[in-house]
Each structure stands twice: as C-alpha cells, then as structure tokens.
C-alpha cells in the first residue's frame, strides 16, 4: 500500500493523514501544537505524528503535502506572509524540514490552492477542467484550475479571489485595499453587516447569532438578513462572472463552512451570475457546492503531494 501524507496546518489544530491516490483516507489524527511557539516544536510534532500514523498503517509513504495558511513561496516552501494565526510559520519552510526529515518529496502551498487541487482530484471539480473555487470562512480563500491543472502564478500566490474589488472605495480590508469581496461575503462580513444593519434600524442584536444563523434567518424570510445574503451572493456572482468572462470557466465552486449552511446562498448566486457574465459564456457555467467538506484541507494537502509525484 502506497499513500501520501497530508498536513492541514491551522491556528487551533493541525490535521495530518495518510491518503491513497484514490482519495481514500487510510489514517488521520489531530494535533494541537502551539502555533505561536518555536517553529521546531510545530515541525517536530507533525513529523512525530506522521511517523506514528505510518507505523500503525504499514505500507509506504511516498510524498508529503502541506496546506499552509497565508502565502507560501512555491519555489522554497517558505511562508512569506499572511499566516496570522500560525506566526511560527513566517520565514520558515515546513516542506523543506519534513522533506529532509523523511527523505521524501515534500511540497507546501496555500490552503485555498490545496482545496482546489482536492476538488479537482476527488470532489466537485471532477469533469470540470476549468474552475474557480472560493472558500467562505472567516475570510475568503480561493484556488484556480485551468486545463485540468492548478494555477499558482509567478510565486504561487494565484487564486486570491477574496481580494477582488467588488465595491470601489468600499470597506477597508485587512489586505490594505478597499471594497474586497472578503468584506462583503465572508462569514465574518455577513455577520458584521447584519449586526450593523439591525443596529441602524434600532433593532436588538443577538450576540449568540452565527453567520449560519443569518443565512437561516434569510431562508426563513427575515427581510434584513435576506438583504445581507442577497448582497453577499451578488458580490460572489460579480467575481464569478468577471473571472468567467476572462477565462471561460466550466464551473465556479463554493466551499468553506458557510457553504454548508443550506443551498439558499448558492441559489442566489446562480440567479445573479448572468448579470455579470457574457450570455454565451454563462450558458454552460455551473455553480456548485464543494464536496469534500471537513476533510478538504487534509485531502487538499495530500492531492498536492500526489500532484508532485505525477509528471
């Protein structure tokens, strides 16, 4: 039995696993190293975890893939920015460390790019060689696939769909620009905008309300929640339509935690996409939910490893 090691590095925990080329997860574990401690402690904990899984599963570990938050230089594996929740990664290369430790090919990439690789290999992207994936979480990540291959760009930073400008001069984004999609359609933005609108209308704010709760309220007919969700869907459709006009995509895929809160958001996106897309290009464009859900990060990292082994 041959498998790849997949590592999904996060701010609260890190998931590791062994994944066959078919996408079957052979074994997995969740680690909780301190993301603010020394880099070596994080790297050693991951290496020890992989060795333990390998010992328990038997077989052969062929390659290692790592999904990092933030920006990872494609040539060196060094995290060069953006990993705010895992600061020990900054200036370090987990792929170089683990590759040397195990004597195997190892590769690191942005977690959104990894998610796109996973959906291409084993999820909603099968049969769609040209697609854009966005992941709706606290922020918005993304990944781009063209002609059946993940696009990474000059330094590996391609696919940052969350930072398309959908409202010139709009809300300030953490990236420094204004009007980014992330400020209108991420889980955090939907909750913030809903609270702001209720405050403006003089209505009480439920501190326990979640972004998923806003979507549920919209689906139930709450007018203010529906306004926020429609605006978010329209912003997403603007990005999907613009990228489709440029690249003639087959599909646009929505993943991340917010995509699992029912199909009302995707329905609204589908309805709005024609407003931003050339009719001929919109004819066969599919708007799809991501399929891999909680295992997307782990499978994405493993897909990255398998991709490295293929010509």
The first and second tokens of residue 256, run together, are: 């991340």
What pLDDT score was predicted for residue 175?
A: 86
**Grouped pLDDT means (10 residues each) for the chain, 311 residues:** 92 90 94 90 96 93 92 88 86 96 94 91 94 91 94 88 95 93 94 94 89 92 94 97 97 87 87 97 94 88 85 55
Residues 173 and 71 in one domain: no
Residues 73 and 12 in one domain: yes
Residues 135 and 227 in one domain: yes
Overall number of domains in the chain: 2
What pLDDT score was predicted for residue 194?
A: 95
Residues 80 and 131 in one domain: no
Domain hosting 49: range is: 2-117+295-309
Residues 139 and 269 in one domain: yes
Is 122 a member of any domain? no
Residues 45 and 104 in one domain: yes
* Closest by Cα among 54, 148, 150 to 101: 54
What pLDDT score was predicted for residue 256?
A: 84
What is the rounded distance in angstroms from the CA atom of residue 9 to the CA atom of residue 85? 10
Residues 281 and 303 in one domain: no
Is 54 a member of any domain? yes
**Greatest distance between any 2 Cα atoms in the chain:** 62
Residues 18 and 57 in one domain: yes
In b/e form, how buried is each residue of 216-250, taking b as 16+ CB within 10 angstroms? bbbbeeeebbbebbbbbbbbbbbbbbebbeeeebb
What pLDDT score was predicted for residue 264?
A: 85
Read off the CATH number of the domain in which 140 is found. 3.30.420.40
Residues 304 and 278 in one domain: no
What pLDDT score was predicted for residue 296?
A: 86
Residues 140 and 285 in one domain: yes
What are the backbone dihedrals phi and psi of residue 44, each rounded to the nearest 5 degrees, phi first? Answer: -65, -40
What pLDDT score was predicted for residue 1?
A: 86
Residues 165 and 302 in one domain: no
What pLDDT score was predicted for residue 311?
A: 55
């Amino acid at each position: 039995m041959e498998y790849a090691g997949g590592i999904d590095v996060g701010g609260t925990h890190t998931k590791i696993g062994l994944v066959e080329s078919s996408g079957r997860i052979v074994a997995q574990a969740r680690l909780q190293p301190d993301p603010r401690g020394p880099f070596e402690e994080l790297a050693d904990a991951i290496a020890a975890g992989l060795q333990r899984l390998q010992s328990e599963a038997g077989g052969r570990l062929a390659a290692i893939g790592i999904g990092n938050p933030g920006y990872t230089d494609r040539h060196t594996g060094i995290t060069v920015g953006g990993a705010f929740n895992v600061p020990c990664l900054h200036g370090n290369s987990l792929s170089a460390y683990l590759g040397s430790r195990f004597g195997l090919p190892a590769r690191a990439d942005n977690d959104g790019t990894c998610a796109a690789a996973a959906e291409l290999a084993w999820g909603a992207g099968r049969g769609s060689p040209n697609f854009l994936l966005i992941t709706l979480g606290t922020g918005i990540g993304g990944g781009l696939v063209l002609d059946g291959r993940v696009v990474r760009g000059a330094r590996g930073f391609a696919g940052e769909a969350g930072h398309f400008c959908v409202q010139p001069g709009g809300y300030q984004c953490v990236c420094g620009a204004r009007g980014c999609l992330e400020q209108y359609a991420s889980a955090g933005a939907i909750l913030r905008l809903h609270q702001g609108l209720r405050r403006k209308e003089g209505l009480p704010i439920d501190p326990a309300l979640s972004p998923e709760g806003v979507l549920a309220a919209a689906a139930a007919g709450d007018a203010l929640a529906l306004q926020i969700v429609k605006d978010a869907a329209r912003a997403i459709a603007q990005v999907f339509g613009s990228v489709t006009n440029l690249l003639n995509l087959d599909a646009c895929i929505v993943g991340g935690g917010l995509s699992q809160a029912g199909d009302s958001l995707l329905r609204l996106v589908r309805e709005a996409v024609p407003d931003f897309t050339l009719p001929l290009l919109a004819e066969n464009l599919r708007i799809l939910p991501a399929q891999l859900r909680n295992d997307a990060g782990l499978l994405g990292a493993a897909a990255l490893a398998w991709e490295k082994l293929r010509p």
